[in-house]
Structure 1
Amino acid sequence: MKKSILLFSLSVILAAGGITSCKDVIADAENPTAGASELDRKAVLTQWADTLVIPGYQRFSSKLTAMKTQSTAFTAAPTVAGLQSLRQSWREAYLEWQKVEVFEFGPAADVSLANRFNIYPADAAGIRRNINSGTYNFELATAIPQQGFPALDFLLNGIAADDAAIVQSYVATANQRRYLTDVVNTMDQLLTTVRGQWNGPYRATFVNSTGTNAGSSLSLLVNSYVRYYEQALRSGKIGIPAGVMSGVAAPDKIEAYYHRGALPLQLAQTAHATVQNAFNGRAGQPSLKSYTDALGAKDSRTGQSLTKLINDQFSLSSQQLVSLGPDLFSTLQTRNAAAVQSYNEMQKAVRMLKVDMTSAMSVSVTYVDNDGD
């Protein structure tokens, strides 16, 4: 089964101890938005647009352009040195992608950017069929796991036994060179479309939609943020490979499976740091944290602020991720209980974000899952 199916059909047993719930959070008054205003929300949206989303896409675009340049050079004259340079630029772009994948709302959602860039494991058999036939359509739903970073993982690391054999396969097969080019060009075109919207009309639309209803920018942002943490990070990067849902560890479902080594865990750690940084924002500037604080959201049992509990849990989750290193693939084979524990730590933050934070903000959860939160 592909990640795209698994992430929408999760059946898990959730640890209840030590986890806050919606009823444990109180606000300044009966109105959960009493401590904040439209001005607060617009300030948060403006910060996200101008300091996170737009510059984040710019940095990622630079990495993607570098990868495209290396890809063009490699397909024109395949060599081992060219393959290694392309692989390095792929790694750098893949890490940078982790910092923008969370922005799956607005223009990114319109083109299904996250699905087109990072559904794994790659459909290796489908990629080989596409190369052999020379005919494929990346717009089709069946082609989702045949493109993006996971497809490049297979094409650069798994299509043959070693670097020399990989290079020879490109020398011998024009269709394979064309497929690699088409994957990279499609990614570049999709990102160009998304950036064009953010650098054009969408930015004003986003920052001026200051309500909390299902179609508002805050709702889109918060739902994308929480969904990413729950489904793409907690489940996709750790829970599914650890077998939390199936009961059987599945190391072959890790991100960057064909490359392996330190990269899969680096991707997960970069994604986790991105989530925490996006929550806290820049010091002294509007953020999800400052907005939640303005709402006065606290744990009713301890009187601690909700944002402190969230950040404390982020720290615990980050520490647990470190324990899975240096090679996540090997850890899943030999110390899978540690990966399950990492999932459990992240689940505690999911409850705080998805139930407590959204309740304090009066934002409804609009995405679907089967976790029973």
Structure 2
Amino acid sequence: MSYLEYSVKTTPTGLRKVLYLNWPLAILLTAVAGIGFLMLYSVAGGSFTPWAEPQMKRYALGFVTMLIVAMIPIWFWRNMSMLIYAVSLILLVLVEFFGTVGMGAQRWIDLGFMRLQPSELMKVTLVIVLAAYYDWLPLNRVSRPLWVLAPMALILLPVTLVLRQPDLGTSILLIATGGVMMFLAGVHWAYFATVIAFSVGLITAVFQSRGTDWQMLANYQFRRIDTFLDPSSDPLGAGYHITQSKIALGSGGWTGRGFMQGTQSRLNFLPEKHTDFIFTTLAEELGFIGGVSLLGLYTLVLVFCIASALKNRDRFSSLLTLGVASTFFLFFAVNMSMVMGLAPVVGVPLPLVSYGGSAMLVLMIGFGLVQSAHIHKPR
């Protein structure tokens, strides 16, 4: 009997699916989203509008979507992986021609009732298709050059389209997610060492080229690098965002200034306080303890995902669960590094906390897949 036939015959039905749901994970996600609601209420000056109320509705929709995705057998998602990937690519191409422009970038498709960002959808789609690919591929072929080229093409194709929007932050996350999936699948370490060595050499060449006839970056791009390394060199210009963010982080201290008492956010010194820089609002108002508490909730989400993946005997389900967990980790790791000045500001939201529809809905779809793998694993 094939695994597919076994999965179909042993698929739980009805109420049993609800009982098999990973409820601790669902409760943790709701707790994280609840912190986001509080912060959005605070940055609006004690009002549910314009951010907290829409965010609550989006989370409710996302939670229902997660449950719907979870109820569908995991083998269905594996069989549909290439179709889902193709649709996501088509949506990225449509952005090129019909995309809505916002904040200097063309990243959204206006559907009337919402604005869809296909690059966000691709983050989870890439995990699904790579998990399906490595589930299909025999283990003895995983590190052979020919079979390494295929997943690289699956990764680089959407990255190229996303870079044209332009969206450097999402492009970096797609590359990182793809690399993690290949590593988890067992691709030989020599490939990663080669890529790292090439990247280090390229970065070195970029810096060495400055001021020469073969300069590899424009002067304004070098100025951006200078600002990242030393924000105080342009505190009122390119370094303004990160300078104000550090002030807010430092002023919170251990216990914070108090809920709705953050001066940086209330006086509008803090840019993008409801989206990319919402963690600095939390740190200013709730302090180090509040920031670590949120980080603790994020860690518990990862722990439950990893535990579910390790208990699952299906290769596709395990890779899918670990891939979604890795994507979730990259989201909050990059955002927190960004607002603390440890990474360039690339516009990555804080998962389930930052205001936004596409990112939240896609994450909940991802966790719906994790729940599906958990519910339908062989018992």
TM-score range (shorter-chain normalised) is under 0.3
TM-score, normalised via structure 1 length:
0.25
TM-score, normalised via structure 2 length:
0.25
